Structure 1
């Protein structure tokens, strides 16, 4: 008889009072000016969180610049059995992240802070945790699960030129996780990424994470695909422009998921951004090729012209855009035959008609009971299945935003994971 203990996770952008406008006519009137307002709303938020009692709570836009509000969260969560970690955005932006973990569910093995120091002063938290009691118990073995959890809040895409900055932020997170796992010689384990990603299912960040084997827990639970038809089935945010969109995700990566090398996926994602910007300028494939050629008279692209085009597109001109080494990496990817130039065929294959893996459906072994894997070379690991995922209020699950919802301009997302043994092929 196998018994299991599920793990739950909630992510919620709670809308910092310093950003919450109380009047459309007076944009300077913020909730932070009225203690009774922000105190009442945040007490209600905590009530909601404690009602759900998730194993892990990941909050964004916590008003860390206000000691009273911080004490409120830390005391009430602490009294309920949580240990909290907070991280302010750089340059005294006023808000930041707070991650709370139930002491009776997980012990903290390590906690790390990621400071991007780039445009937008974004940060991320990494927690390496282990279950206090076995998540799977059987007659012959018990599994104490180890998980890597990340909480973050990406830059808002005020314009398309910031696509590369947002992609760089995600790349840094994944690179940090990869480095952390190697440095500590960790066995394969589930990775859960939580937060406000400020981008929809149509965006470059979404496609990049999918190419790395991550799945959107909510979409998995509700059997939604990556197709455009499913892009607006649910929403989680009404932004300052009045648009409703789905931007809050809990991403899951299991040990048995196929993953391309991180740098390869990153290069493909950047090529995707380059094509997007070229098409946004209404360039056809022939016009785009001519643009990348710059002043070169030959029927091919040379490195200097390529770099000039990247600068003009804003790929290398942002504060945290691509550096010289990044540009060289892209060039080597584009120059397929290595002859020092990129001809029209290579341009079409690498940039204009690139078929990169947005939907990595290759799964190296499904969840199995120990001992049932028969493939030679297979290893056993612990992973998660998405058991359930819920957005609140219920209307957002139908793609609508209720006018009477007042907790935040975001909807909290809660996912329940069930543990499972699975086989995988070591890379």
Structure 2
């Protein structure tokens, strides 16, 4: 599926010294679970051990060649013991410590092809999720947390609090500590417009989880790295929401682009299950020294922006605009707002609308 990588280097790297941090790197990769890899319209790859085993061996070869400091994988076949053992052994032998997390409620990581359903009904190996690996020569893992979206599409996220290992000469003393928070996730696919609300709620929950973790552990402002398959492009509301929170795509840093259609389509990470080429695998970076708006404020703005977008789309189909201000006051109540939405939007949209 998709892969992206970004190096993060010490500013003084151009003149290396005995205490230079050097470079660390991060890779995010949706490795396409064998239960979702379609072969011929009648079978899925999970039915043929030699095929999925060979492909995943090749994936590991590539990952070990890259030797990234942090590896974030999505669509990891968590409950296939042979595959899990292969990843843990090869990555462990290469110096990585690994963490895996299955989706909640025994869910997979995508829309199951119909021709795979019969096969999987008799095989309790459908559980998918995430795997994050950290190279022990580069980072020390201070803490590991699991963020579960039981109420929001059964998705999950992994949060790792890591400390950069700075190698100094024997006669040097330092109190320098460089810490970072790393989160790996896989957002739900936008099957229709109503899923935009679900996806925004998933991101909101992650950012609130990070805020709570920092508060509970009394952390000073630290850099944050968000990795994963976001199932949305640069033009989507999730991308704009993260931008409003001060996050920057590492790809955009390496490859500056404009907002015209040609530039926006340059980033392609993989073909999705509908056969469309898309760029949805991102590494988002947050510099703690940058100003950050209150997350709830940005979230509400993103949701209202999404409602506005949907309203315009519906108006092109002959559905009238929203009449919010049918009162004499300069504001409306939540009840009035909900009633106005119910008059225009189908119930499939409203059931995914978040509560503020």
Provide the rounded CA distance (Å) in 2 between the counterparts of 1:232 and 1:193: 22
1:169 aligns with 2:183: no
Structure 2 CA distance, aligned partners of 1:266 and 1:6? 34
Give the one of 212, 218, 221 matched to 2:245. Answer: 212
**Aligned twin of 2:235:** 202
Cα distance in 1 between the residues matched to 2:168 and 2:153 = 39
- Counterparts of 1:3-402 in structure 2, within 5 Å, are 3-24=20-41, 26=42, 29-93=43-107, 94-134=127-167, 143-282=176-315, 287-290=320-323, 292=324, 296=326, 302-303=332-333, 304-311=335-342, 313=345, 321-323=353-355, 326=356
- 5+ residue gaps, structure 2: 1-14, 108-126
Q: Which runs of 5+ in 1 are unaligned?
A: 327-427
Instruction: Measure how far apart 1:6 and its partner are.
Output: 1.1
Secondary structure of 2:292 counterpart: coil
Counterparts of 1:246 and 1:127, CA distance in 2: 25
- Secondary structure at 1:241 match in 2: coil
Q: Check the 8 A contact 1:135/1:145 in 2, yes or no.
A: no
Q: Residues of 2 paired with 1:139 and 1:316: CA distance?
A: 62
* Aligned residues between the structures: 317
Question: What is the rounded CA distance, in whole Å, between the counterparts of 2:155 and 2:351 in structure 1?
Answer: 13
Alpha-carbon shift at residue 297 of structure 1 (Å): 7.2
Residues 193 and 349 of structure 2 are in contact (CA less than 8 Å); yes or no, is this contact kept in structure 1? no
1:405 is matched with which residue?
none
User: Structure 1 CA distance, aligned partners of 2:226 and 2:248?
Assistant: 10
Deviation of the 1:60 alpha carbon? 0.3
CA distance in 2, matches of 1:318, 1:166: 14
Matches within 5 A, 1:411-426: none
What secondary structure, in the 3-state scheme, does the structure 1 residue paired with 2:105 have? coil
Distance change >3 Å, CA 221–CA 236, structure 1 → 2: same
Residues 234-258 of structure 1: CA distance to partner in whole angstroms, max 9, x if unpaired? Answer: 2012111111111000000011222
CA distance 1:224–1:76, change in 2 (3 Å): same
Question: TM-score, normalising length from structure 2?
Answer: 0.82
* RMSD, aligned CA: 2.7
Question: In structure 1, what is the Cα distance between the partners aligned to 2:71 and 2:183?
Answer: 11
Distance 2:260 2:85 in 1: 44
Aligned 8 A contact 1:315 1:322 in 2: no
Whether the 8 Å CA contact 1:164–1:315 is kept in 2: the answer is no
Displacement of 1:315 after TM fit?
8.6
Distance 1:251 1:263 in 2: 19
Q: What SS class does the counterpart of residue 252 from structure 1 fall into? A: strand
